[in-house]
Amino acid sequence: MAELTMVEAIRTAMARAMADDPSVLVLGEDIGRDGGVFRATDGLLDRFGPDRVIDTPISEALFCGLAVGLGAQGFRPIVEFQFLGFLYPGLDQLINHASRLRNRTRGRLSCPTVVRSVWGGGIGAPEHHSEATEALMAHIPGLRVVLPSSPARAYGLLLAAIADPDPVVFLEPSRRYRSPREEVVDDGHPLPLDRCAVLRHGTDLTLVSWGATLGEVLEAADALAAEGVEAEVIDVSTVKPIDTGTILASVERTGRAVIVHEAARAGGIGAEIAAVLADEGLTSLLAPVARVTGYDTVIPLARLEHAYLPDVERILGAARRTMEYS
């Protein structure tokens, strides 16, 4: 057991999968000799060699298509996009081929490909480096979309994604890459996909989130507890498909829900969860479902990011209004 950052846990999971299964390989820009832009693949080239750790040209469409072909032919490729905003040239391959391969071939072929990318704001980078467009990926039938929130969860969820027989988009929150550290056991055991994790139990209010924003959500839950409000905190983890059962069961107990995400508000995953609560949990609700989100604009540059991203005060404001509703 070791205390790892998220990026260290991701590297450890990839190394474990590559050691256990020779069909697992890694490809992308600068992931070999340079170890990746965030050093997520540092040391893998020396350990596994250039046939399994492959530096590609700067062509996202090319190496995403290569990963689809490798997956269809019995390999388990892990393809790294440096930032989510760089993934868009590869969408043709993901949408028209990776996501459809099992259906297109009536199950004769599948595409066990993992697409890894840094996701979200908070590091003061230009907007193409700070995108949170997970809803775009989640709308595509045939793609699974996973977002870890901590080092231990990143390790287990990535192992599960690599073992999955179908394509997985694995989005890693950049502002939790280096902090906090967490004990991670490199035992090769995956965590279940398509399941929410209850990070904190409560009886008065359900707070639903994923990725980096869970840091602010947990801080808000502590502040609410000091006010006498016990909030349950749910880490959605897989936003496609969503484990709606866990969310509905929580809201049945608490009667109130606040959904928090840093992506733009319109068409976000929060709207989908709110719709499920309206469809299947309406009689449990004691107040309207609240959403705390990013804004419907391009994320601002550098020093203005803090005004865009949900913070503790915005979460507390929504929670208090929800608790006061009658």
List the domain boundaries for the chain.
2-184, 197-324
Q: Determine the pLDDT at residue 143.
A: 97
Task: Provide mean pLDDT across the span 199-213.
Answer: 98
Cβ neighbours of residue 278 under 8 Å, at least 6 residues apart?
289
Tell me how far apart the alpha carbons of residues 290 and 157 are, in angstroms, rounded to a whole number. 28
Q: Determine the pLDDT at residue 80.
A: 97
List, for residues 44-60, the tens digit of each pLDDT value.
999 999 999 999 999 99
Q: Where residue 128 falls among pLDDT bands split at 50, 70, 90? A: confident
Q: Determine the pLDDT at residue 164.
A: 97
Estimate the crossing angle of helix 244-254 against helix 269-280, to 10 degrees.
60
Q: Has residue 317 got a pLDDT over 90?
A: yes
- Quick one: the chain helix, strand, coil %, rounded to 5? 40, 20, 40
- The CATH label, of 3.60.110.10, 1.25.40.10, 3.40.50.970, 1.10.10.10, for the domain at 2-184 is 3.40.50.970
In whole angstroms, what separates CA 21 from the centre of its chain? 24
Residue 178 DSSP code:
S
The CATH classification number of 197-324 equals: 3.40.50.920
List, for residues 74-122, the tens digit of each pLDDT value.
999 999 999 898 999 999 999 999 999 999 999 999 999 999 999 998 8
Query: Residue 79, by phi and psi: left (phi above 0), alpha (psi -120 to 50) or beta?
Result: beta
Q: Has residue 294 got a pLDDT over 80?
A: yes
List, for residues 130-151, the tens digit of each pLDDT value.
889 999 999 999 999 999 999 9
Tell me how far apart the alpha carbons of residues 13 and 19 are, in angstroms, rounded to a whole number. 10
Share of the chain above pLDDT 90, in %: 91
Q: Determine the pLDDT at residue 303.
A: 76
Q: How far is CA 278 from CA 58, 181, 248, in A?
A: 45, 37, 10
**What is residue 83's three-state secondary structure?**
coil
Q: Which spans in 179-293 are helix H?
A: 214-226, 244-254, 269-280
List, for residues 5-36, the tens digit of each pLDDT value.
999 999 999 999 999 999 999 999 999 999 99
Q: Has residue 300 got a pLDDT over 90?
A: no
Q: Has residue 126 got a pLDDT over 80?
A: no
Tell me how far apart the alpha carbons of residues 239 and 115 are, in angstroms, rounded to a whole number. 15
Tell me which residue has tokens 């868009």.
Answer: 88
Does 2-184 match 197-324 in CATH topology?
yes
Which of 129, 189, 201, 261 is labelled catalytic? 129
Q: Determine the pLDDT at residue 268.
A: 97
Tell me which residue has tokens 């967490």.
Answer: 182
Given a contact cutoff of 8 angstroms between Cβ atoms, the answer to whether 299 and 131 are in contact is: yes
Stated as kind and residue range, the H or E segment containing 288 is none
Full-model pTM = 0.96
Question: Which residue from 250, 311, 294 is spatially nearest to 276, judged by alpha carbons?
Answer: 250
Q: Any long-range contacts for 176-181 (C-beta under 8 Å, 24+ apart)?
A: 176/6, 176/149, 176/150, 176/211, 176/212, 176/215, 177/5, 177/6, 177/7, 177/38, 177/118, 178/5, 178/6, 178/7, 179/5, 180/5, 180/150, 180/151, 181/3, 181/4, 181/5, 181/151
Dmax over CA atoms of the chain, in Å, equals: 63
Tokens of 292: 């705390």
**What is residue 209's three-state secondary structure?**
strand
Known catalytic residue at 129: yes
Task: Provide mean pLDDT across the span 151-178.
Answer: 96
Task: Provide mean pLDDT across the span 289-295.
Answer: 97
Q: Has residue 305 got a pLDDT over 90?
A: no
